[in-house]
Structure formats: structure tokens, C-alpha cells
Structure 1
Amino acid sequence: MSIYRIATVVSCGLAGTVAQAEFLKDSHADLSMRNLYFNSDNRDGAANPSKTEEWAQGFILNYRSGYTPGLIGVGVDAMGMLGVTLDSGKGRHIGSTMIPSDGDGAASEWSDFGATAKVKLNQTELRFGQLMPKIPVLVASDGRLLPQTLEGAQLQSKALDDFTFLGGALNRATGRASTDRTGLAVNGGTQESDRFYFGGVDYRVNRSLLLQYYGGQLEDYYTQHFLGLNHNWSLGDEGSLTTDLRYFRTRSDGANGTASGRGQGYVASGYTADGNGEIDNNLWSAAFTYRFGGHALTVGYQDVSDDSNFVQINQGSIDKGAGGSSLYLLTDKMLLNFTRAGERTGFAQYAYDFAPLGVPGLKAAVMYLKGDHIQTSSGVEQSEWERDISLDYVIQSGSFKNLGFTWRNGMSRSEATRNGDQNRLIVNYTLPLF
């Protein structure tokens, strides 16, 4: 029996306990609404047309129960999602970037439902069913109208002071523009893996220093190890300085490590040293952020080794609208992520919080990234750059408190892929129900 079916059975079994006051007293539910206008103009290339322009409304009903009384508490969470297309159509809908495809156009609406059973003993919790992990080796993507979800089991423990332990296994994913559950893969892989194992620990050394280790294995594709350090140095009246160091080591696993396996479709896209699609990559980055008043200035550098692209789970080559992913990288931006084999990227961002000027809730930022030394099969190195602007405002009081408005504008120019210009206009609001 699959993990998803087990979660469903357990959830149904728990339904009878909902009437208990102890189960309900800590329950919460809210309705999140997101209105998104998405405009992505690829500017050049062979695709015709080259522009995606769509507008949609999303709803997420999120229920989180309390726990039954006793030494071992039991509960259930549930999430229902609905997307409604407001404007799209043939000629402005390319693939399934934000809205699932229906024939040669966009679906008028789409929906999904997931449940998560949970069991808690003191500071240790087991969850199985629908999950949305956000850890260095896997970040569930929330970059469009509705989020990506995954299915599996996860165990988290905070039983030791200053430590958070996490581990689990996943076997299915639903893309951010899809209602189809699929197996797991990387970008370029056409064969589905049915197992991703993960585990790690966060160690809070003190209020200023966090150390991390995480590992992940996508069976028949790759094994990945992550080390991270985040330190915040208070400079008193002169502000603060944050240091963010990240290192990933990724190697082939199972079928991807053999010629026969790669021939079946267990391959990664992009340049590889032997031209065979085998995963072999190291990535490290360092970023430093100085904050003073409402100002925040970030400068950083990222280095990708020469033998293959950096990879994490991405369903982009599985033709079920499951494409798109998020990466635990400061360079994962609107149009590019700067993870090509050999790529060396310098980046800088300036952000300002207008609260000191008497406008709380208003924030703005501009970022520029430049990558070069991209490896190619011809031996000619390539380069690319991206510039992003963001503006956010959240109403702080009154009848429309917490109503948020966002504008994102991105421009990229690349020798390795198509040039692009992109705009996103987003309105977010979460209504607490109980």
C-alpha cells in the first residue's frame, strides 16, 4: 500500500475523534487567496509564440488539527487547493508554467486535496501523507499560483536542546501547475524514481550561529550532501553583518552511474564532462549581508564545478505539468538559477525596508547576478546575467490588514539559453477561519 493510501486510511480513522473537545481546541483553519498575473517574454528563440501571459486566482483551504490527549497525541492536517483561470488562451499559454494544459490551451480550473496524519510524543513528531519540505536538499516550490506538494513520511525531533533532527522518505510529487501525481526525477530525466530519502540536523550553537548538515538520495539519480553555516554578528549601533556559507557535494546514484541506466533515461540535462548525462557536481557559495536601519546590502559569490550541472528534484522532463522547482541557493531567481557546469557567479543586492521612514510594510529590493565560465561541449565558455526588482507592501491595520501586494520584474540575457523579460503582479490575503 502506498504512503498516500496509508495517510488516507489513517485520516479517515481519525475522523471519529474530531468530535472530542480535546482534539478541536488547538485546531486552526484559514483560507489563503492568491491572485497572480504572470507575463514571461522569451524575446528570441525557435518557440512560437515566445510569450506566456496568464492571470489566475488561487485558493488554499488549510486545516491543522490539535492532538488527542495522552502521552502519544494523534492528529490530522488537510489542505484543499483550487486554481481558476481568469485570462489565458491559445497563443499565450506555453506548456504548464502556471496553469495546467488542456488540449492546446489552458485549463479553466484545477484542484487538488491532500491529508497528513501526525503522531507526537513529547518533542518528536511523525508526519505521513502530504508534505511540503523546505530543507537544503529539497525545497517544495511555491513560485507560482499553487505550491508543489510531495507525499511520504517525515520524522522531526527537538528532544535535545539546540538541535533539530529531521529525516524521511518521499515517493510522489504534484507539480505547482498540475493535478497529476508523478514519481521523482531531475531535469532531463525521463524515468521516474519512486524514492527520495533525506535526513539532517540543525545545531543552534548560540543565538548568532547556526550549523547545518543534510543529506538526500534520489534513488537511481544522485546522492547529495550539504553543509551550511549562518552567523549573525551584531555591530551595535552600527548595524549587523550576516555570513551565509553553503556547500553541496552531489554524485551519481544507481542507474545514473551506469551507461545502461543512462540509456534508459536516468540522465541529467545540460553539459557533462563525458557527454553522457552522469551527475558529478560540487557547489559552494558565500554571501555577506550588512544591515543598518532599513538598509540591507548583500554581496556574494557562487562556484559550480565543471563536470555537470547542479541538480535537485525537478519534474520538468516528465510530461505531466509537473515542471518547475526551487533550489536552496541565493542565485535561484526569477528566470535563471546560475547552476550550469563550471558557472562562477558574482551577485549583489540592495534592499530597503521603509518602516524607519514611517511606512511599515513597504519593502523594495534590486539584485544583479553575473555568471561566466559556463562549460559547453564545443569548449567555448558562455556567460549570462540577470537583474531583478521587487516591491512589496502589506497593509498593517484596518479592515484590510495583512492584504499584500507584490510586483516582481526580471530581465535576463544569456548565451546558454533564451533571453527573457518577466513580470509578476501578486495579491495575497489569508483569512483566518478559526
Structure 2
Amino acid sequence: MYKSSLALAVALGVLAQQAGAAGFIEDSKLSLSSRTMYFNDDNRETGGTDQEESGQGFKLDYLSGFTQGTVGFGVDVQALWGIHLDGGRGSRPNADNSFFPSDSDGSAVHNWARIGGNAKARFSKTEAHFGSALAPNLPILVSNDGRLLPQTFEGGTIQSKEIDNLTLNAGQLTHAMGRASSNRTGLAVSGTGAFRDSNKFQYAGGDWKVTKDLTLQYYYSNLEDYYKQHFLGLTHVYQIDQNQSFKTDLRYFDSSKDGKNGETGYAFGNNSGYAKNAGEVDNKTWSAMFTYTLGGHSLMLGHQQVGDDGGFVWLNQGNVRKDGLTSGLEGAGGASFYLFTDSMINQFARAGENTTFGQYSYDFASLGVPGLKASVAYLRGDDIRLKSGNGTYNEWERDARIDYVIQEGTLKGLGFSLRQGVFRGSEESSADKDQARFIVNYTYSFL
């Protein structure tokens, strides 16, 4: 973190001289977010250790405005702090944990923290950010926020909206800070076998709003020595009337090997599935989702096809610990990707997998209870190719959740989320699970 911290300190020093400039202070925002989370992972008849833990997370964000002038400058600072509330060695499956960092005896540390920040600049309708608190949300890179604290990245990004209805994004990332770690790591693929860090993830692409109802997307990304990936996307919303709409969402990924991928230490584990060429990225995946909304009701149905040659690939933290071992993520595990099948427990992203899915949601504002929402989803994946290439198997998951956010009064904005998931697979080694989470969120804005 030394280089990014030094760059941030220099930026702060320069900006301090201009702190009185209109915009830098006046447009600043300061907020404190709190998240309390209970996590229960019940392994069913697999001999694995169940996991039951709870924790408290705090996230302090300061976002400055921009100084005056043709080019405006600013700075963002983020401080994260996680506190373990209960659990212990007996309720943790192993030392390499995705909920909390582990102590030397495998138990959770009592607390952990990290601080990062970004220097930023704005010219016209173009903004650039450089630092260690980046959290992109793009088709080829989704920052994970599924535990107490968010996953963040180190590097530089740029976004331009100079052309009406066109948003362009580009960037290069060098390191990641995991959702349950105070340390930074290099970058690798999500999957077993990737034991060498890459420190170069580059991407570029854009979103073109063709009409108010139709958006087209194209992105290209490259994780050096692992993979190259092209993405095409289309979303269209047909507004039937004020109370009804029909949304179409189409997504296509084309991924191939890059550089040393497939060699010792740079292998891609293909999500524990089949690979035409062992250790190599070779995948085409498409998905289609259709959502009909009527008042508070929303029904989504879709299908996804993962190519036969290898599993779907996405970015994750590197696998190399400071002690040089090639296993153990120091609590840094966990990454997201831009497909609906990235569900509560499973990913449905193995070679050959055909997944049909659906979700029903209801917004109780239609019944006079604003802030209350509920949903239930079901996914079933078939035709999954085994590592040996002989035969296929299937898996399914059912997820349900209820969310409520207080709409007014002293506790306005306080949110509660109760989630429950069930996963089952036909493969003998499948890790059948029942999982429950209870989350309380609150954000207080000082500025």
C-alpha cells in the first residue's frame, strides 16, 4: 500500500493549498455506513465444518468536490473497520475464511481495518481516479460487497461522458483488497490452480443509450497471463403503460487464454469442471433475461448457456500469501461477476452448464407499505461436464429474501435484510448447503 498511500499524501498536500476554492469544500460529502451481519453456512451431509459467525462493519467515506479551474482536482478517502462479535474456531471451516481474517490458531481476529483513498481530476465531463479505494461496477468487473466490508481495487480509472448518451470507461488495476482482509494482493482468476499473481488488469468499453429505452454495451478486458474477454450487452425496456413494462436483458462473453495461462502456476481451474485444454481459459457464455412488471409484481425468467470447452472466467484476488504459500487467501476470498447466476451460494458457471432460472419479486409499496420488498428465485443447471469428460450432472438453488428500509422518522434509512438459500447437486462431491444471512444496514451523512 506504500505507493498508493504516498500518492494520496502528495495529492492531499497539493489540494490543501486550494482547499478554500469554491467547490472543493462546498461539494464535499462525508458519510458513515454501518453493517451488522449474521452468517450461517450449514454443510449438508458432506462432512465439512459448518460456519456460524456475526460481525460489525463500519465504512467512513469522505468525497471532496473539485477545485476551480479548467481541470478540477479532488480526493476521496475511505476507512474500513470490521469487528468480530461471536463465533470461534469451532464455527469456522478453516483458516482461509471469506467472512473474517483468521488468527494463527484459525479463530477469527477480534477486529481488522484498512484505509485507502483516491486522487481524482475532472476536465469537462471526464473524470479520472487513481488510488486504492476503487470499486468498479462494470460488466467485466464487479466489486464484491457480499460480506461486512466491500472489495476494493488499486489502480486508475477514467470515465468520459463528453458525447451525449455515450459513457466510456477505461482503466488499469494492479492490486485488490479483499472483502475480509486488511492486506492487498495481486490479481488472478476465480478458480483453483491460479498460484501466480498478475498485476495488470486492463479494460475499456462503453454504454450507448441509443434511445431512452434501448442501451447497447461493449467492453474488452485483459488480465495479463490469464485471459482476454469481450462482452456484448443489450437492455431494452418496453413501457406498456404507466403500470406495466417488459424488460429484455441479453449478455454475451467470449473469453480466451492470454500469455502464460495454462502453464504451471497460471492454470485456470475451470470452476472444478471440464476443460478441453487443461488449465486454459476457453469459454463462450450467453444469457437472456426477460422481466414483466405489473404494479408491485415482477416476474423474471431466463436461460444461460456456458460453453462446452471450459468454465466461465472472472477476476479475483491472487492466491499467493505473504509467506509464499500457494494456498490460503488470508480472508480475501470472494469475487462477483455480471451474470444473474452469481447467486447467494453457487455460480452455475461450469463447462457445458445450461441454467434455467426465474425470480418473482413484490414491492409492498403497492399495498401502502413502502420500503418492504420480498423475492424468491430458483435456478437449475443441467449438462454440467465433469473433469474426466465422461458424463454430466446437475445442480439447483433456491433463494428467498425479505428487505425493509424505514422510510421516515429518526431511524429513516435503517435497513433490514433476511436471506435464505438452499443448494443441492447430483455430483457425489457436491457441497450441498443451506445458508442464512441477516443484515442490518445504516448510513449517516454528515455533509
Q: TM-score range, shorter-chain basis?
A: over 0.9
Q: 2:425 aligns with which of 410, 414, 422?
A: 414
Give unmatched runs, 5+ long, in structure 2. 321-327
Q: 1:4 to 1:415 in 2, by over 3 A?
A: farther
Which residue in 2 is equivalent to 1:15?
Answer: 16
Which residue in 1 is equivalent to 2:204?
Answer: 199
1:397 aligns with 2:398: no
Q: 1:365 to 1:327 in 2, by over 3 A?
A: same
- 2:206 and 2:266 map into 1 onto residues whose CA distance is 33
1:58 aligns with 2:40: no
Alpha carbons 1:4, 1:151 under 8 Å: kept: no
- 2:420 and 2:343 map into 1 onto residues whose CA distance is 11
Number of positions where the alignment pairs a residue of Structure 1 with one of Structure 2:
428
Q: Give, in angstroms, the shift of residue 321 of structure 1.
A: 2.0
Q: 1:343 to 1:12 in 2, by over 3 A?
A: farther
1:345 aligns with 2:360: no
- 1:102 and 1:15 map into 2 onto residues whose CA distance is 39
**1:313-392 → structure 2 map (5 Å cutoff):** 313-315=315-317, 317-318=319-320, 319=328, 320-378=330-388, 379-392=390-403
1:246 aligns with 2:259: no
Which residue in 2 is equivalent to 1:90?
Answer: 89
Alpha carbons 2:195, 2:318 under 8 Å: kept: no
Q: 2:135 aligns with which of 128, 132, 140?
A: 132
Q: Which amino acid aligns with 1:399?
A: T
Q: Give, in angstroms, the shift of residue 280 of structure 1.
A: 0.2
Alpha carbons 1:271, 1:277 under 8 Å: kept: no
Q: Give, in angstroms, the shift of residue 102 of structure 1.
A: 1.1
Where 2:317 maps in the other structure, the secondary structure is coil
Which residue in 2 is equivalent to 1:108?
Answer: 110
Alpha carbons 2:372, 2:405 under 8 Å: kept: yes
TM-score between both structures, scaled by the size of structure 1: 0.95
Give unmatched runs, 5+ long, in structure 1. none
Deviates more, 1:382-391 or 1:8-17: 8-17
Give deviations 1:251-276, integer Å, cap 9, x for gaps: 0000005xxxx223443342343462
Deviates more, 1:194-203 or 1:266-275: 266-275
Which residue in 2 is equivalent to 1:120?
Answer: 122
Where 1:356 maps in the other structure, the secondary structure is helix
CA RMSD of aligned residues (A): 1.5
Q: Give, in angstroms, the shift of residue 96 of structure 1.
A: 1.6
TM-score between both structures, scaled by the size of structure 2: 0.93
- 1:266 and 1:7 map into 2 onto residues whose CA distance is 35
Give deviations 1:37-90, integer Å, cap 9, x for gaps: 01111213243xx21111101100000001111111000001001001111211
- 1:20 and 1:71 map into 2 onto residues whose CA distance is 13
Give deviations 1:170-219, integer Å, cap 9, x for gaps: 00001000011000001221110010001111000111011000111000
Which residue in 1 is equivalent to 2:439?
Answer: 426
Give deviations 1:130-155, integer Å, cap 9, x for gaps: 21000000001000000000000011
1:291 aligns with 2:304: no
Where 1:105 maps in the other structure, the secondary structure is coil
